[in-house]
Amino acid sequence: MQAPSSDDLRSTPSRSSSARPGHTPSPIQSHRQSFTESLRGHPPSPRATRQPSLSQAQLQELLNNPPTAGTADPRFAGKDWQTIGVGELCDPADLRWVELDSGIEDATNILISSGAHVLLVRHRKDERSAHATYDYRDLTQYLLFATGQLQPDEEHFPIFTSLAKKAQAGHVIPLRDAKGLGNKEPFITLPSNAYLTHAIEVFGGGVHRIVIVEEGTDNVVGILSQLRLVKFLWENGRNFPIIDRLYPQTIKDLGIGSQQAISINGDKALKEALKLMNNEGLTSLAVVDNQSNVVGNISNVDVKLLTKSSSAPLLDNTCIHFVSVILSTRGMNEGKDSFPVFHINPYSTLAHTVAKLVATKAHRMWITDSPSPSLASASPPQLSQPSVSHPPSHLSSLPQSNPPFLPLSSSPSVSASALPGANMGGRLAGVVSLTDILNLFARASGLHPTDPDERRRQRRRSSSSSMMRGSLDSARSSSLDVSTASIKR
């Protein structure tokens, strides 16, 4: 059996005909409904008459007893995980590339349509060495700049103004200019023969991915992510006793996670959530109600629903509304209803927590206590209650600077109690991330990972020093709708 493929760790690539090179859509296909059109006289959603795939009781049982680990890879039976090379967990076929001179829109389309979580950036198509990466954190930051939500500091203001004028003139903004807008994932490489011990120390310090290269060269042969390593150790845990003995213990007894989880109230505008994730270096954010009950989750990957100009009003709508759009889209794409399952409690075992992380492909689980009355007393939601607009296709153009976007005040509001599965949550009490788990594994194995909290502080300092938070005054915002910066190497 081969080592786990990254196909297990990411969503299936879009196979829409509109994404194929050289495909000419029909006149009917070429028209996409605008956001406002979708709110006027649209036919009833099929979700209104479709029954949930699982009953409330069945879903709760699934959450309480997640699937067990998959079949162990016989190649690693009886082998000490600390002597396994990082290259054994990688596959060159999983790599997706883009060139520095590629336009930001083309790079984004490749990122979304390929199903990859990250693209490798190179100078030329015939190269196998990477100089940077492009991922959903980069896209989130670019969208914030493109819509005037964030601004550069005084030092970079002339560069950003120049690039804004270039975009307004209709010129393509190359990836080399769009990169480097602020706090970025560090670009770290390891040779393919390096042991997993080295990787787990790096991951335990808060790094999310490592680029794997051929020994003695810069040629990339794979990418190892935190999630892929956690999944590998989970599926092969019986072969690694030092780690396997940790799984039956509770999160509380292990003392992992943080009690200072960052969240946002569901009534806040979506743009505030994206700015908060960007400023704090987060990949996802808990959405809570007025009693701090977890009612949803927003991640950087979800910004792919915002890459059409007509979806810009979503930025001014509430986080609760966007969570309902995410769930509706997921239900339509997967053919079944989707519920938020990104939470555990302090007495959940590590096995329960890891199983959920692997199953949901999430980077963190929210720790919740018993629900506050607002959710505990809520009646089971009906799937036909939320008024949800259908988001536009994510493969169309990024937001343009002219004309300026206007808030859609008539957008439907969605209450927290109306969200499917919302009354299964609880009061937010903390968070456990992949970094926390890999840090635990490293320390249990006698290794010395760096303090992940220090890396988080560095990200915040980087964000604060590279840009001011908030929006520019009206005189500046008009010239900064598509702000970009020079690439940092």
Percent of the chain exceeding pLDDT 70 equals 64
The residue that leads in pLDDT, 256 or 487, is 256
Q: What is the 3-state secondary structure (H, E, C) of the chain?
A: CCCCCHHHHCCCCCCCHHHCCCCCCCHHHHCCCCCCHHHCCCCCCHHHCCCCCCCHHHHHHHHHCCCCCCCCCHHHCCCCHHHCEHHHHCCHHHCCEEECCCEHHHHHHHHHHHCCCEEEEECCCCCCECCEEEEHHHHHHHHHHHCCCCEECCCCHHHHHHHHHHHHCCCCCEHHHHCCCCCCCCCCEEECCCEHHHHHHHHHCCCCEEEEECCCCCEEEEEEEHHHHHHHHHHCHHHCHHHHCCCCCEHHHHCCCECCCCEEECCCEHHHHHHHHHHHCCCEEEEECCCCEEEEEEEHHHHHHHCCHHHHHHHHCEHHHHHHHHHHHHHHHHCCCCCCCCEECCCCEHHHHHHHHHHHCCCEEEEECCCCHHHHCCCCCCCCCCCCCCCCCCCCCCCCCCCCCCCCCCCCCCCHHHCCCHHHCCEEEEEEEHHHHHHHHHHHCCCCCCCHHHHHHHHHHHHHHHEECCCCCHHHHCCCCCCCCCCCC
| Residue positions counted in the chain | 489
* pLDDT 10s digits, 346-357: 999 999 999 999
On the CB side of 337, CA atoms within 13 Å amount to 21
**Please, which pLDDT band fits residue 34 given cuts at 50, 70 and 90?**
very low
pLDDT of residue 485: 29
Q: Provide mean pLDDT across the span 365-388.
A: 54
pLDDT of residue 405: 33
Angstrom distance (rounded) from CA 158 to CA 415: 43
pLDDT of residue 66: 55
* pLDDT 10s digits, 176-189: 888 766 556 889 99
pLDDT of residue 234: 95
pLDDT of residue 12: 41
The pTM of this model reads: 0.73
pLDDT of residue 285: 95
Burial level of 150, CB count in 10 A (0-12/13-18/19+)? Answer: buried
- From first CA to last CA, the distance across the chain in angstroms is 38
The residue that leads in pLDDT, 1 or 447, is 447
pLDDT of residue 380: 35
Angstrom distance (rounded) from CA 59 to CA 56: 5
Angstrom distance (rounded) from CA 120 to CA 134: 7
Q: From the CA atom positions of the chain, what is the Rg in Å?
A: 22
- 434-444 vs 196-204: helix crossing angle, rounded to 10: 130
pLDDT of residue 418: 53
On the CB side of 334, CA atoms within 13 Å amount to 14
Q: Tell how strand 209-213 and strand 189-191 pair up.
A: parallel
> Listing from the earlier edge strand, what are the strands of the sheet with 220-225?
189-191, 209-213, 220-225
Question: Please, are residues 368 and 286 in contact by the beta-carbon 8 Å criterion?
Answer: no
Q: Tell how strand 97-99 and strand 118-122 pair up.
A: parallel
Phi, then psi, of 284 in degrees rounded to 5: -155, 165
Beta carbons within 8 Å of 379's beta carbon, 6+ residues apart: 417, 423
**Among candidates 380, 414, 138, 103, which has minimal Cα distance to 287?**
414
The residue that leads in pLDDT, 12 or 85, is 85
- Geometric angle at alpha carbon 233, from 228 and 234, rounded to 5°: 95
pLDDT of residue 49: 44
Angstrom distance (rounded) from CA 212 to CA 191: 6
pLDDT of residue 310: 83
Angstrom distance (rounded) from CA 168 to CA 328: 34
Q: Provide mean pLDDT across the span 482-489.
A: 28
Write b or e for each residue in 262-289: b if 16 or more Cβ atoms lie within 10 A of its Cβ, otherwise e. Answer: ebbbbeebbbbbbbbbbbebbbbbbbbb
**Among candidates 112, 470, 87, 103, which has minimal Cα distance to 300?**
112
- Geometric angle at alpha carbon 311, from 42 and 298, rounded to 5°: 110
Q: Identity (one letter) of the amino acid at 464?
A: S
- Which region among 90-99, 238-247, 411-420 has the lowest average model confidence (pLDDT)? 411-420
Question: Please, are residues 239 and 1 in contact by the beta-carbon 8 Å criterion?
Answer: no
